[in-house]
Amino acid sequence: MREPAAPPAAGDWFSSDEHLRWLARRTLDESVWPVARGALEEAGRLVPDRVEALAGQADAHRPRPPPGATCVDDVVLDPAFGELDGLLHGFGLVRMSYQKGWRGL
């Protein structure tokens, strides 16, 4: 059994992943590739710079209902969840499939 590849220590995780670059290039239409490549490189930089630490914090402090909670709205979330949500919205992941004009497409 092969050992799992260690993630890059820092930098752009997309550009350093040869297989992911190949798969993305092969899968995406030629007309969207320049925009997609830029977005994937940006995402690749966000992961080690912001997402990894926030994901670790969120994993360590899972959502929990306070004692006596009767509604899902009462669940307590670590601030890391809000920051991750903000990154997703800021990057455009939430709307890219439904809104024309994402990153000029």
**What is the three-class DSSP state of 74?**
helix
pLDDT in tens, 54-76: 999 999 999 999 899 889 889 99
Mean of pLDDT values over 20-43: 90
Backbone dihedral angles phi then psi of residue 64, each to the nearest 5 degrees: -145, 145
49, pLDDT greater than 90 = no
39, pLDDT greater than 70 = yes
Domain ranges of the chain: 18-104
Does an H or E element contain 88, and which? helix 79-91
Enter the pTM of the model. 0.71
The first and second tokens of residue 56, run together, are 């670790």
Residue type at 46 in one-letter notation = L
What is the pLDDT, as a whole number, of residue 10? 62
Backbone dihedral region of 101: left (phi > 0), alpha (psi from -120 to 50 degrees) or beta? Answer: left
pLDDT in tens, 4-29: 666 665 678 898 899 999 999 999 88
